[in-house]
Amino acid sequence: EIVMTQSPATLSVSPGERATLSCRASQSVSSNLAWYQQKPGQAPRLLIYGASTRATGIPARFSGSGSGTEFTLTISSLQSEDFAVYYCQQYNNWPLTFGQGTRLEIK
């Protein structure tokens, strides 16, 4: 099983600033890495797939990078609606696995 490790667990950032979230895989997942945003009481929403491709309707302030085992989600100029929990997920191998999440909170 591929273990996905996200850091930090919690990130405090002021609106308008940049947030950088990290995700590490215990073995290579190529570019088969996705990022999801989850707000309270809602299902996760796909933000990024293929490590760097924005999903339909996702604003350009969200960007993903990386391949292999190291990945980054960057949110430039944070908006109030961006404060949520973010998960990475690998879909390169069974079983599908998620990171434990990063909570992005308002500083």
Partner 1 sequence: QVQLQESGPGLVKPSETLSLTCAVSGYSISSGYYWGWIRQPPGKGLEWIGSIYHSGSTYYNPSLKSRVTISVDTSKNQFSLKLSSVTAADTAVYYCARCGIAVAIDYWGQGTLVTVSS
CA dihedral 86, 98, 8, 78 (to 10 degrees): -20
For the record, the structure tokens of 48 come out as 């990024």
Binder of partner 1 out of 64, 75, 97, 104 (CB under 8 A): 97
Contact region with partner 1 (CB under 8 A), list: 13-21, 57-65, 70-78, 93-101: 93-101
CB of 6 to partner 1, least distance (A): 9
9 belongs to the binding site for partner 1 (CB under 8 A): no
Give the number of other CB atoms < 10 A from CB of residue 8.
12
CA distance 57 to 38: 16
What mask, x for binding partner 1 by CB under 8 A, covers residues 33 to 62? -x-x------xxxx--xx----x-------
CA distance 71 to 3: 13
Question: Which residues contribute to the site for partner 1 (CB under 8 A)?
Answer: 1, 32, 34, 36, 43-46, 49-50, 55, 87, 89, 91-101
